[in-house]
Amino acid sequence: GSQYYSAAAVNAASVRACNYYKAGTSVGGYPHTYNNYEGFTFAYSGPYQEFPILASGALYSGGSPGADRVIINTACKQAGTITHTGASGNNFVKCT
């Protein structure tokens, strides 16, 4: 899509996802397992967790997750970003 996120915004969302994951907690059902059914190649190997990244710049705290996600692995490495925008059904496309 046309949405742009700074490295700092991606990092902030990834850190938030990691903190929830390590604590075994969630907000609005996130983070949760991302199975990579699309077969994307990420910077790090899985297993993966997905967490919303918001166009508003706010950190996700529940409610509508929007279309965009950061992907971390269970070692809390930033693996990539994906979006529902431009994908069919409930699928994702990878961000560049």
| Number of domains present in the structure of the chain | 1
Tell me if 1 is assigned to some domain: no
Q: What is the CATH number of the domain that holds 34?
A: 3.10.450.30
* DSSP per position, 34-82: E--TT----SS-S-EEEEE--TTSPPP-SS---SEEEEEETT--EEEEE
Tell me if 63 is assigned to some domain: yes
From the list 32, 46, 66, 83, the catalytic residue is 32
Q: What domain range includes position 76?
A: 7-94
Catalytic-residue membership of 84: yes
From the list 50, 67, 73, 82, the catalytic residue is 50
Catalytic-residue membership of 21: no
Please tell me the pTM assigned to this model: 0.94
Question: Can you tell me which residue has the tokens 């529902």?
Answer: 84
CA–CA distance, 29 with 61 (Å, rounded to integer): 10
Tell me if 2 is assigned to some domain: no
Q: How many residues does the chain have?
A: 96
What are the pLDDT tens digits along the chain (96 aa)? 688 999 999 999 999 999 999 999 999 999 999 999 999 999 999 999 999 999 999 999 999 999 999 999 999 999 999 999 988 888 888 987
CA–CA distance, 39 with 75 (Å, rounded to integer): 20
Tell me if 33 is assigned to some domain: yes
Catalytic-residue membership of 2: no
Tell me if 70 is assigned to some domain: yes
